[in-house]
Structure 1
């Protein structure tokens, strides 16, 4: 039994919706630093966790004492903020992970160097 053009289009659109919806349904929310929040020595926090593109990281911190900066690999390694980097300052930042490597630092003087940085690979 064949499908008409209209029926085939509805079937294709329905399948696309299901695939997109299932991807969104699997997205997880992670609280960086767990109950301790985004603070010093969080560099090891991602260890043992499996991240996916679309997952959300929640950075909870005192906005008068810290921030979150999305950096590239060079900025992560050097603890320097690259030109044009996105800086978050709310104290309750929610950042969606992109596929591949994602790097975050606090760029207050000495904070990144004290382990206030994370590198996350999202599948």
Structure 2
């Protein structure tokens, strides 16, 4: 019985460690702020300056694929609106998503002369750092609640394990 209680206490410690770790759900950022906003004459620099991008987030580009495209480019191509030798063409159907998988700057533009009309955006992606302990566990990031449901489940499991171990 003593070994059983040790195992239960070990499981409780593991669960508590998991409970204390802050998580963050991925966020879908609608580039430009709207459903079909990958278009000329939108201030993408202004839009991106009000967003926080973290590894694992997604960008959504909504546009007419017959007129525009979305190319991932390097910094020089971004600055000079060069649509040749791009890194990746992410254009699929005009409602395209792109995963921000690394902490680094990403640069996108639309070719066919649209970059010079302002159709380019730079996003600066960071690794997520949990807030210090002592901050409320149910925080909101970019308007999305953190994983409150999984935390509630963990708390219920912890309480059940404690009650079961000491009865």
- State whether TM-score is above 0.5: yes
Among 53, 56, 79, the residue aligned to 1:54: 56
Distance of 2:64 and 2:94 partners within structure 1: 5
| C-alpha RMSD over aligned residues | 3.1
Deviation at 1:37, TM superposition (A): 1.3
Residue 41 of structure 1 pairs with residue 41 of structure 2 = yes
Among 87, 91, 94, the residue aligned to 2:94: 91
Distance of 2:110 and 2:67 partners within structure 1: 10
User: Relative to total residues, which structure has the larger strand share, 1 or 2?
Assistant: 1
Of the structure 1 ranges 44-53 and 54-63, higher mean CA displacement relative to structure 2 is found in 44-53
Structure exhibiting the larger radius of gyration computed from Cα positions:
2
Aligned twin of 1:22? 23
Distance of 2:75 and 2:41 partners within structure 1: 19
User: Relative to total residues, which structure has the larger helix share, 1 or 2?
Assistant: 2
Tell me the TM-score normalized by structure 2: 0.57
Distance of 1:84 and 1:60 partners within structure 2: 20
Matched position secondary structure for 2:123: strand
Aligned twin of 1:104? 108
| Residue correspondences, number | 114
Residue 116 of structure 1 pairs with residue 115 of structure 2 = no
Tell me the TM-score normalized by structure 1: 0.75
Shift in alpha-carbon separation, 1:112–1:84, aligned structure 2, 3 A: closer
Matched position secondary structure for 1:77: helix
> Tell me, which stretches of 5 or more residues in structure 1 are unaligned?
none
Deviation at 1:85, TM superposition (A): 2.3
